[in-house]
């Protein structure tokens, strides 16, 4: 792979191998004369039409599609996805063993096309590194409509992700429309909507894996069906771990779960069903005399063993439905059957605990998009890296200048390393199936979905698809800009417009946009927890009641419309670098910016929530302008800028 050359192609994820040839194939004024050789299926025809229908010129250009085998009605883990693609002056030809590979080839073609519809002549050989390349969307904390999920699926297909994990239930809401366990007063999907989504995803080679979280995260379920567990809680609007738990001692609970999962399996054809298992707060289990009697009768030693008893029972139910269960890494317990797949989220170290005990793993640790980290942070974590490297990457975040304001909170998560032996490498009995990015939605409602996903998800998608030695993150960012442009056409997703609309609605007027474009939300869970709940957490208690946000909090502040990572700030860093290398044009650009920023000080129409940032930026402009005019030394300027470098 000639990565330097290939890195110039506007592709995300980068293919495994590209052989560049001379010349290009122009599709201007052309239509594609499609020949589907070998196999033709309706799904293949639709996929080809989605690509080819955009070309309506008179001149025919041949597109030959060779597909050996039809896929099943729904894709499953491990289906063949490789493809080969050749663009030559005479036309385009692609080959794949499967429909799924053809779709990937068409996606690559769509990205290869330049703005004036030319394709570079080349040959591409491509296949995924991992079979499981997912995105979790939490549709429980905030409802995300089927239409928004459809365009998310389009975007996923554009970066070759192949699993949409729907976190359907949580304390705040239960979005699965169960007949046996109906829930009142909640916005739910209809079965038709969910089935439509599964079908829409399958048309694009994407699996939909549903999650019903249990035995914790069930407050919404218990509010309507209190006999299933701890009856202490009614409906809840707040975030944070709740006390409500299913009762693991009652046969009627397993019967209800059996009916519920049976209904789930009717709607979702995927081989995997996710049964949650995270963040169980078993206070009630420890106090209930009935549960104590049950444990004694069953010879269950302690509450962790009780939880694994529950997990094993539910896993059996899943298997009785001819499906495989997945659980979050809290299910790891010596008593839990090793055939259960584990989704690793509590830091990198849980991975090797799971692998050593033979579990197949899906890696989500360090791929949490709700932490609002920049793309390069996620890009730096490799699902298969040796543990020492992963821990070093986690440690490095603590001294990353962009994350210093949350270093204390991030350090708190290192408690999860206890029990995991650093220095281990994978390669033990389990297998890494792949990974999933996760978007938890406490602070994400539908209007924020696109901008929280798409400047960073493509980095994770590339990590899951491309070869492990594709590490040049600067090159990734260069490709991201045209990729985001293409996303508008492919999926009707325009992150820049979304951001502008939201900050405008928050009261930002045009003169203030140059400031707002340079802002980023505070990172990690600083905002979700708030000062008091964060302080409490760091001192060993939790104060969920102190969290400033709940389900009904309006998400209409400037911060809600910001890109998690300012692309304008990245541009600015580039200008600064060129200026300090002596580039006169860049120096001029910087002088103009400094002048503009200085001007903020004189304006009287600043939104109160922007006032501190406006003061900061105008002071930066002042010092920078003086430096550029030779009135302030480099050292003094740097000292002033460092003094100004405080988040708020
Ligand atoms: C999780 O983030 N509680 C899986």
Q: How many whole angstroms from 343 Cα to the centroid of ligand 1? A: 9
The protein residue with its alpha carbon nearest to ligand 1, atom 4, reads 278
Q: What is the pLDDT of residues 487-529, one digit of tens each?
A: 999 999 999 999 999 999 999 999 999 999 999 999 999 999 9
Q: Name the region of 281 (left: φ>0; alpha: ψ -120 to 50; beta: rest).
A: beta
Place of tokens 């040796």: 386
Bridge partners of residue 87, in order along the sequence: 92, 122
Helix (H, G, I), strand (E, B) or coil at 70: coil
Contact 210, 175 (CB under 8 A): no
The model's confidence at residue 1, banded by pLDDT at 50, 70 and 90, is very low
The model's confidence at residue 619, banded by pLDDT at 50, 70 and 90, is very high
278 lines ligand 1 (CB under 6 A): yes
DSSP 8-state secondary structure symbol assigned to residue 53: T
The model's confidence at residue 282, banded by pLDDT at 50, 70 and 90, is confident
Q: How many whole angstroms from 440 Cα to the centroid of ligand 1? A: 8
Residue 2 has pLDDT above 80, yes or no: no
> Residue 254: in which H helix or E strand, if any?
helix 251-267
Determine the Cα–Cα distance for residues 120 and 113; give it in Å rounded to an integer.
8
Six token digits for residue 273: 């069903």
Average pLDDT of the chain, as a whole number: 94
- Helix count and strand count (H, E) for the chain: 24, 14
Cα four-point dihedral sign 300, 305, 306, 309 = negative
Six token digits for residue 334: 């010596």
Q: How many CA atoms, within 13 angstroms, populate the side-chain half-sphere of residue 54?
A: 14
Q: How many whole angstroms from 11 Cα to the centroid of ligand 1? A: 31
Burial classification of residue 642, based on how many CB atoms lie within 10 Å of its CB (0-12 exposed, 13-18 middle, 19 or more buried)? exposed
Determine the Cα–Cα distance for residues 249 and 255; give it in Å rounded to an integer.
12
Q: What is the pLDDT of residues 421-432, one digit of tens each?
A: 544 554 566 799
The model's confidence at residue 6, banded by pLDDT at 50, 70 and 90, is low
Of all atoms in ligand 1, which is nearest to the CA of residue 368?
Answer: 2
68 lines ligand 1 (CB under 6 A): no
Q: How many whole angstroms from 46 Cα to the centroid of ligand 1? A: 37
Six token digits for residue 579: 């200026």
The string of DSSP letters for 280-315 reads: --THHHHH-HHHHHHHHHHT--SHHHHHHHHHHHHH
The model's confidence at residue 418, banded by pLDDT at 50, 70 and 90, is confident
328 lines ligand 1 (CB under 6 A): yes
The string of DSSP letters for 349-415 reads: THHHHHHHTT--EEE-TT-BGGG---HHHHHT--TTS-HHHHHHHHHHHTT-GGGGGGHHHHHHGGG
Task: Give the angle 300-303-304 at the CA atoms, nearest 5°.
Answer: 95
Q: How many whole angstroms from 616 Cα to the centroid of ligand 1? A: 36
**Length of the chain, please?**
648
The protein residue with its alpha carbon nearest to ligand 1, atom 1, reads 278
Give a three-class secondary structure readout of 169-233: ECCCCECCCCCCCCCCCCCCCCHHHHHHHHHHHHCCCCEEEEEEEECCCCHHHHHHCHHHECCCC
Q: What is the pLDDT of residues 290-316, one digit of tens each?
A: 999 999 999 999 999 999 999 999 999
Q: How many CA atoms, within 13 angstroms, populate the side-chain half-sphere of residue 213?
A: 33
Contact 544, 533 (CB under 8 A): yes
Bridge partners of residue 136, in order along the sequence: 165, 438
454 lines ligand 1 (CB under 6 A): no
Of all atoms in ligand 1, which is nearest to the CA of residue 438?
Answer: 2
Distance of CA 221 to the CA centre of its chain: 26
Q: Return the pLDDT at 3.
A: 47
Six token digits for residue 10: 């506007």
Q: What is the pLDDT of residues 65-74, one digit of tens each?
A: 999 998 999 9
Q: Return the pLDDT at 17.
A: 96
Q: What is the pLDDT of residues 179-214, one digit of tens each?
A: 999 998 779 999 999 999 999 999 999 999 999 999
Virtual CA dihedral for 384, 388, 392, 395, nearest 10 degrees? Answer: 110
Q: How many whole angstroms from 279 Cα to the centroid of ligand 1? A: 7
Q: Return the pLDDT at 428.
A: 60
Site to substitute for ligand 1 among 167, 170, 328, most atoms within 8 A of C-beta:
328
Lowest mean per-residue pLDDT among 222-236, 285-299, 570-584: 222-236
Alpha helices in 492-563 (DSSP H): 495-505, 513-516, 526-538
> Residue 126: in which H helix or E strand, if any?
strand 118-126
Q: Return the pLDDT at 423.
A: 47
Please state the rounded mean pLDDT for residues 102-117: 94
Residue 177 has pLDDT above 60, yes or no: yes
Q: What is the pLDDT of residues 539-565, one digit of tens each?
A: 988 888 889 999 999 999 999 999 999
Q: Return the pLDDT at 5.
A: 55
The model's confidence at residue 399, banded by pLDDT at 50, 70 and 90, is very high
**Cα first-last separation, the chain:** 45
The model's confidence at residue 40, banded by pLDDT at 50, 70 and 90, is confident
Q: How many whole angstroms from 328 Cα to the centroid of ligand 1? A: 7
Q: What is the pLDDT of residues 529-545, one digit of tens each?
A: 999 999 999 998 888 88
Q: How many whole angstroms from 562 Cα to the centroid of ligand 1? A: 24
> Is the full-model pTM beyond 0.95?
yes
DSSP 8-state secondary structure symbol assigned to residue 472: -
Residue 438 has pLDDT above 70, yes or no: yes
Please state the rounded mean pLDDT for residues 221-234: 88
């Amino acid at each position: 792979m000639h990565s330097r050359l290939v890195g110039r192609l506007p592709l995300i994820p980068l293919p495994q191998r590209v052989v560049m040839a001379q010349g290009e194939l122009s599709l201007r004024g052309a239509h594609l004369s499609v020949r589907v050789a070998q196999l033709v299926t309706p799904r293949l025809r639709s996929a080809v039409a989605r690509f080819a229908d955009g070309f309506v010129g008179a001149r025919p250009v041949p597109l030959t599609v060779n597909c050996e085998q039809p896929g099943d009605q729904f894709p499953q883990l491990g289906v063949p996805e490789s493809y080969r693609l050749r663009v030559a002056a005479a036309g385009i030809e692609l080959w794949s063993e499967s429909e799924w590979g053809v779709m990937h080839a068409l996606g690559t073609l769509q990205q290869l096309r330049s703005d004036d519809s030319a394709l570079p002549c080349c040959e591409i050989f491509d296949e995924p590194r991992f079979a499981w390349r997912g995105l979790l969307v939490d549709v429980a904390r905030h409802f995300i409509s089927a239409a928004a999920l459809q365009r998310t699926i389009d975007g996923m297909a554009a970066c070759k992700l192949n699993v949409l994990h729907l976190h359907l239930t949580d304390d705040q809401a239960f979005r699965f429309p169960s007949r046996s366990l109906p829930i009142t007063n909640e916005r739910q999907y209809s079965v038709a909507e969910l089935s439509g989504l599964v079908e829409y995803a399958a048309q694009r080679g994407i699996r939909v894996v549903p999650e019903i979280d249990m035995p914790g995260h069930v407050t919404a379920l218990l509010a309507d069906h209190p006999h299933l567990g701890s009856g202490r809680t009614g409906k809840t609007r707040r975030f944070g771990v709740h006390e409500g738990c299913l009762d693991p001692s009652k046969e009627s609970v397993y019967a209800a779960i059996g009916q519920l999962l049976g209904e789930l399996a009717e709607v979702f054809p995927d081989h995997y069903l996710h049964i949650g298992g995270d963040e169980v707060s078993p206070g009630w289990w420890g106090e209930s005399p009935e549960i104590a009697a049950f444990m004694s009768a069953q010879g269950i030693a302690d509450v962790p063993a009780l939880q694994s008893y529950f997990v094993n029972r539910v896993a059996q139910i899943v298997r009785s439905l001819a499906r495989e269960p997945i659980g979050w890494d809290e299910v790891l317990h010596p008593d839990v059957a090793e055939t259960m797949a584990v989704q690793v989220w509590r830091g990198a170290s849980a991975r090797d605990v799971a692998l050593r005990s033979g579990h197949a793993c899906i890696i989500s640790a360090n791929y949490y998009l709700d932490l609002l980290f920049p793309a390069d942070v996620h890009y730096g974590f490799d699902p298969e890296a040796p543990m020492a490297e992963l821990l070093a990457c986690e440690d490095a975040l603590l001294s990353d200048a962009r994350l210093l304001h949350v270093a204390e909170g991030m350090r708190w998560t290192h408690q999860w390393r206890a029990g995991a032996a650093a220095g281990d490498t994978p390669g033990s009995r389990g297998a890494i199936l792949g990974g999933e990015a996760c978007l938890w939605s406490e602070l994400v409602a539908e209007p924020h979905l696109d901008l929280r996903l798409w400047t960073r998800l493509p980095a994770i998608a590339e990590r899951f698809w491309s070869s492990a030695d594709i590490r040049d993150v600067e090159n990734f960012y260069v490709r991201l800009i045209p990729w985001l442009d293409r996303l508008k056409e492919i999926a009707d997703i325009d992150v820049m417009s979304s951001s502008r609309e939201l900050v405008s609605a928050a009261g930002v007027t045009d003169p203030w946009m140059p400031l707002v474009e340079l802002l980023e939300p505070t990172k990690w869970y600083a905002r979700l927890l708030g000062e008091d709940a964060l302080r409490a957490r760091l001192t060993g208690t939790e104060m969920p009641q102190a969290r400033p946000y709940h389900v009904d909090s309006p998400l209409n502040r400037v911060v809600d419309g910001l890109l998690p990572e300012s692309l304008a700030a990245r541009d600015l860093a580039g200008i600064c670098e060129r200026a300090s290398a002596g580039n006169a044009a860049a120096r001029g650009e910087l002088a103009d910016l400094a002048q503009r920023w200085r001007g903020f000080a004189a304006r009287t129409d600043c939104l109160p929530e922007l006032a501190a940032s406006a003061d900061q930026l105008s002071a930066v402009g002042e010092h920078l302008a003086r430096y550029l005019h030779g009135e302030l030394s480099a050292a003094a300027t740097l000292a002033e800028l460092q003094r100004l470098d405080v988040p708020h």
